[in-house]
Amino acid sequence: MSAAVQHTLAGQATLEGTSLHTGQKVSLTLKPAPEGHGFKFRRIDLPDQPFINADVDKVQTVERATTLAEGSVKVHTVEHVISALTGMGVDNALIEMDANEPPIGDGSSRPFVELIKKVGTLAQSAPRKVWEIREPIHLETGDGTIITIIPAKTFKVSVTNVGPEGRFTQYFSSEVNPALYEKEICPARTFVYYEDVKPLLDKGLIKGGSLESAVVIRGNEIMSKESMRFENEFARHKALDLIGDLMLSGVKFIGHVIAVKPGHGPNTMMAAKLKAEYARMRSMVPAPVSIPDGESVLDINEVMKILPHRYPMLMVDRIVDCLGDSKCIAIKNVSINEPFFAGHFPGHPIMPGVLQLEAMAQVSSVLMLRKPENSGKIGYFMSADNVKWRRPVLPGDTLFIETEILKMRGSIGQTRCRCLVNGELVSEAELKFALMDR
């Protein structure tokens, strides 16, 4: 996570223009927002002025542009303004519009960058959380699109644009920071192929489109009111779109995004994958443990009065609950300082499965030895059946060990045990013990 703080806008600013699809006049206002707010759109032209989060879960359509929806409320073509906010280092902003899509402008994100620069940005108090990609994340579609994010120490995009029949194949690569975004990415205009938009033009569905708001490609001819701004302008605009679409994941990250033939569909699919991977990564951080009050809770000192084990072989930190005489729940905080990590896959430390089994056995012993008639005895491990290991237990995990007595006949007991991390089963077994005098 980065030590930098979050930023919002230092004031509010408004941009007026024409919407692409309806050709209507539209006013867009960028406003400051509090820490942790992220990007939200607000339709001030509708009753109750509803909000729509800039979230991949709200993506409705991705044909020629990215559309978000909350119920019947929609905002179209959101990628340019989100790209500009992200590229210029803004974390939190409210985007108010009096129509269902932003002004198209010249088809680039430069008008939004100029709006941001007009008011400036403001540092906030909360730290900016930035996910450092540690393992490659890959997406491949059936039509030839490939998007891969690999580890890097900066946020970088490398894009190869491939048009129909291989026309206008271009490449662009750059780090993404405010200075480079403003100079190298934001001026790049959107482009369309005439054969794709002609049916829409014939139906009057792109009323705000013109050669001033997009570059039109007809065959191998480029139709535009001005000359190309860059030799590889199309690849640069694909990078612009990619940045905006990926930020719908809600995750700031550093890594190198390598994309071949990107588009709004694959881009938002990768945003969804990013969001899911981030949630999975965060789930590995143990949630705060709520320890129930009552006599059933045993701290480490009380556990050691029952069990003969001592560090490093004591695998129970605390008994957090006992449900009557038949069930018990304990925790073991798995620290990187555990001695077994030094020799058990030191390059990829995981808790040995046999030690998870030992933790189950120790909690089972506590459960059986709590009975008054077994006080002062010691539990000897006899057998383990139906042992299964489901997933690795890593340093930093909190291991929850659940045990239940199945049978108890004289000095012989049988228990069913499970180990869980963040509610996910990691191992299980059925154990048999003999209780003996010390």
CA 297, 302, 305, 307 torsion: positive or negative?
positive
Point out the catalytic residue in the list 7, 21, 264, 309: 264
Q: In this structure, are residues 262 and 112 in contact, taking their beta carbons and an 8 Å threshold? A: no
The string over 237-251, giving b where at least 16 C-beta atoms fall within 10 Å of a residue's C-beta and e elsewhere, is bbbbbbbbbbbbbbb
What is the rounded CA–CA span in Å between residue 377 and residue 327?
19
Q: SS3 letters for 288-306?
A: CCCCCCCCCCECHHHHHHH
CA-based end-to-end distance of the chain = 51
Helices within 96-217 (DSSP H only): 110-119, 178-180, 194-202
> Considering all CA atoms of the chain, what is the largest pairwise distance in Å, rounded to the nearest integer?
94
The yes-or-no answer on residue 138 being catalytic is no
Cα distance between residue 244 and residue 75, in whole Å:
14
By CB neighbour count within 10 A (0-12 exposed, 13-18 middle, 19+ buried), where does 154 fall? exposed
Amino acid at 287: A
344 as an active site residue: the answer is yes
* DSSP assigned state of 287: P
Q: Count CA atoms within 13 Å of residue 152 on its CB side.
A: 18
114 closest CA partner among 44, 39, 30: 30
Cα 392 to Cα 426: distance, rounded to the nearest angstrom: 7
Contact yes or no for 216/206 (Cβ under 8 A): no
Residue from 80, 237, 344, 348 carrying the catalytic annotation = 344
> What positions carry a catalytic annotation?
264, 344
